[in-house]
Chains A and B, each alone.
Chain A
Amino acid sequence: GAVVSQHPSRVICKSGTSVKIECRSLDFQATTMFWYRQFPKKSLMLMATSNEGSKATYEQGVEKDKFLINHASLTLSTLTVTSAHPEDSSFYICSAPGTQNTDTQYFGPGTRLTVL
């Protein structure tokens, strides 16, 4: 089955620093990946659509200069949280559509970011 990995699984950083999160499709190619954010006990909120070889598409209210997305290859998308602040602390999850059924999303294990 389709497997999506994320790295790191947890990160703690100081306020003002930047953090990069990687999302990889391990056994399939993904021209599109999706980044979500989930606050504690809340639902997943779509942040942006990552497109291989082109600019990401951001949802309304998501600052593209703060959440930099790079989809440099068919198996890797990265999300960089720039100048992180405590309010950016959250669970960041990526997903990629399956190849056989593109309506099925395979989610990565998530990255828990804590900004001190």
Chain B
Amino acid sequence: GQQVMQIPQYQHVQEGEDFTTYCNSSTTLSNIQWYKQRPGGHPVFLIQLVKSGEVKKQKRLTFQFGEAKKNSSLHITATQTTDVGTYFCAVGANNLFFGTGTRLTVIP
């Protein structure tokens, strides 16, 4: 299956600081999805990006899809304790291949 690398693996931030996770693929992607998994929970769909260079925003979250459609990023502005969890990118049509994930810890 497809492989996507995510960095960083872990990120500890002070509440109020920004956070970014990056997802990289060696192949061109048709689309990319982002999921959030709270500790002990299951993945919850956040967004799907399809177009080259696409930027989407959800309140404090900004998602970008690279021009070459090989990378993507998720940026959280002014993190809150409720942002704690692991953020995964995922590629594929229905059967998803997940990135390695970035575990975010927010220190109050």
Chain A contact residues, CB within 8 Å of chain B: 32, 34, 36, 41, 43-46, 49, 59-60, 93, 95, 97, 101-110
Closest to B45 in A: A104
Q: Are B48 and A104 in contact (CB under 8 A)?
A: yes
Q: A102-B94, A108-B42 are in contact. List 18 more A-B contacts (CB 8 A).
A: A32-B94, A34-B94, A43-B88, A43-B98, A43-B100, A44-B98, A46-B1, A46-B97, A49-B94, A60-B1, A97-B94, A103-B93, A104-B33, A106-B45, A107-B42, A107-B43, A109-B41, A110-B42
Chain A residues with CB under 8 A of B103: 41
Work out how many contacts link A and B, with CB atoms closer than 8 A.
54
Among B1, B31, B94, B99, which residue has its beta carbon within 8 angstroms of that of A105? B94
- Verify if B28 is at the interface (C-beta below 8 Å from A): no
- Verify if B78 is at the interface (C-beta below 8 Å from A): no
- Verify if B101 is at the interface (C-beta below 8 Å from A): yes
In the assembled complex, how far is the CB of residue A18 from the closest CB belonging to chain B, in whole angstroms?
A: 24
A-contact bits for B39-83, CB 8 A (1 contact / 0 none) = 001111100100000000000000000000000000000000000
In the assembled complex, how far is the CB of residue A57 from the closest CB belonging to chain B, in whole angstroms?
A: 8
Closest to B92 in A: A46
